Amino acid sequence: EDTNYVPLLTYRTGAYAGSGIHIANGMHDYLAMLNERDGGIGGVKIAIEECETGYDAQKGVECYESTKGKNALVYNPYSTGITLQLIPKASVDKIPMLSMGYGLSAAAVGNTFPWIFNVPDTYWDGASVAIKYIAEQEGGLEKLKGKKIGYIFLDAGYGREPIPLLEQLSTKYGFELVQYPVPGKEMQNQSSQWLNIRRDRPDYMVMWGWGAMTPTAVKEAVKTRFPMDKLIGVWWSAGDEDAAAGGEAAKGYKAMNFSGVGSDFAALGDIKKLVIDAGKSQTDPSSFASTLYNRGVLNSVIIAEAIRNAQEKTGKKVLTGEDMRIGLESLDLTADRLAEIGLADFAHPMKVTCEDHAGGNPVFIQEWDGKQWQKASDWIEPMTDVVRPLLEAAAKEYAEKNAPWPARTEACPN
């Protein structure tokens, strides 16, 4: 029987499992639902296989090596570290890699990285939105001058990625950027960082937390009586447990998001009915439709839509990695299409082009009301004008440092 094989590099174990499990469930369940409901995509079932990485780069590479031979269509490493290792390998093996909203920001430059996709946004887009949102609160970008903005982050590739952009913005808008790195080992032991924050009294805090780092940070923020409405997390710090760790007192904590909030979507209803209630998933019903779960769903939506697109573009039903790349690179997920698949308004419409693999799509801010996340802003556009040149420069630098970096040989699909 023909299938389209989609390996999912997930982690349900290790220090970051707290975040990883929800993502893994969301990714798995949507694809499983398509298999149940529609018999796959275009009549071909999706073969889903999870490979456990434990957020560990070595194991991630091992997963990649052990699955790529099975005609893998696309990889989602869910770790910036693993992404970095796989970028060169995937480029050589000609298998696209979708790092949705994480990974190497520069990979958005499709001409340099034809095989890597990071729709809907890069970290730099995210960081610029955070600054923009702060400016909005203060009443305009010019009001940022003289403000102090703290940046607390997981001290790894993931958390360091936004720093160049933040520094750029800080010089541009004249605010002071103070960095608070949290070593991976000390994730659950952040009292020093928050003491420093207390002393420095930044006006706002931007947070790039993951795994157990986020709930600990939220708790510490509450403890040190940092004004919670001035703490803004990246979309990966937007988990329900993350905020719940602070309980009532964390009311006002904000985080960016680009995937739907809540379970009020037809497709999610199908998942619940056909997959979860049917006992075909590991999802704990209480965590269904949580922020990170929905994030996982969106990841699979992009995969599924890319498969469909590729099937249309190539006329094949059973695809290869190369076909998949075509599907991803000409992906156009419109509002209509989202509605059609039962996920109206679940995400902002996104379009991938040859040049731009990220799209720089708008994101919104959600706020914790003490019990739940609530949407707290409209879609905010990132500062593409600042981000794009930086991306170009970074891509160029990457190619130079890794010379001889192969030039793009893949034709643009349209």
Partner 1 sequence: MFYREAGQFKTSYEADQALFPIRQDRIGLAVILLIAFVGIPLTANDFVLTSIMIPFLVFSLSAIGLNILTGFAGQLSLGTGAFMGVGAYAAYKLTSLFPDVNVIVMVLCSGFFSAAIGAVFGLPSLRIKGLYLAVTTLAAQFFLEWCFIRIPWLYNYNASGAIEIPSRDMFGILVTGPEATPLTRYFIVLAITSVIALLMANVLRGRIGRSWMMIRDMDIAAELMGIRPLQTKLLAFAVSSFICGVAGAMMVFFWLSAAEPSSYSIKLSFQILFMVILGGLGSLSGAFMGAAFIWILPVVLKFVPGMLGFDIEAATVEHLTFMIVGALIIFFLIVEPHGFARLWQIGKQKLRVWPFPY
Partner 2 sequence: MLYDIFIGPFVQMVEMPDFFLQVLWEGFVAGILYALIALGFVLIFKASGVFNFAQGIMVVFAGLTLVGFYESGVPALLALLLTIGVMGALAYGIERFVMRPLVNQPDIILLMATIGLTYFLIGLGEFVFGGEPKRMIAEELGLPTGSTAIEMGERGLVILQHIDIAAAVIAILMVTALGIFFNKTRIGRALRAVADDHQAALSVGISLNQIWAIVWFAAGLVALATGIMWGARSDVSFALEIVAFKALPVLILGGFTSIPGAIIGGLIIGFGEKIGEIYWGGLVGGGIESWLAYIIALIFLLFRPQGLFGERIIERV
Contacts of 196 (CB under 8 A, 6+ apart): 180
Using the rule CB under 8 A, which residue among 43, 183, 227, 285 binds partner 1? 183
414 contact, one of partner 2, partner 1, none, CB 5-8 Å limit per kind = none
Minimum distance from CB of 396 to partner 1 (Å)? Answer: 12
Measured CA to CA, the distance from residue 57 to residue 54 in angstroms comes to: 8
Question: If contact means CB under 5 to 8 A according to the sort of partner, which of partner 2, partner 1, none does residue 203 touch?
Answer: none
Q: Which stretch binds partner 1 (CB under 8 A): 190-198, 265-273, 283-291, 393-401?
A: 393-401
In whole angstroms, the minimum distance from the beta carbon of 181 to partner 1 comes to 8
Chain centroid, CA 47 distance in Å? 23
Q: How far apart are CA 388 and CA 397, in angstroms?
A: 14
The Cα 82–Cα 88 span in angstroms is 11
CB 322 to partner 1: min, Å: 16
Q: Which does 196 bind (CB under 5 to 8 A by kind): partner 2, partner 1, none?
A: partner 2
One-letter amino acid of 275: V
Of 244 and 255, which has the nearer Cβ to partner 2? 244
* Tokens matching residue 152: 């607390």
Q: Closest distance between partner 2 and the C-beta of residue 18, in Å?
A: 4
Q: Is the Cβ of residue 119 or residue 394 nearer to partner 1 in the bound state?
A: 394
Residue of the chain from 378, 403, 407, 409 that contacts partner 1 (CB under 8 A) = 403
Binding to partner 1 by residue 66, rule CB under 8 A?
A: yes
Of the candidate residues 156, 177, 383, 387, the single one contacting partner 1 (CB under 8 A): 156
Interacting positions 217-246 with partner 1 (CB under 8 A): none
Q: How far apart are CA 123 and CA 103, in angstroms?
A: 8
Per rule CB under 8 A, is residue 52 in the interface with partner 1? yes
Shortest Å, Cβ 160 to partner 2: 12
Please identify, among the stretches 56-64, 145-153, 251-259, 371-379, the one whose residues bind partner 1 according to the rule CB under 8 A.
56-64
Chain residues that interact with partner 1, rule: CB under 8 A: 10-13, 24, 49-52, 54, 56-58, 61-62, 65-66, 69, 80-81, 84-85, 87-89, 91-92, 104-106, 155-157, 160-161, 163-164, 181, 183-185, 282, 394, 398, 401-404, 406
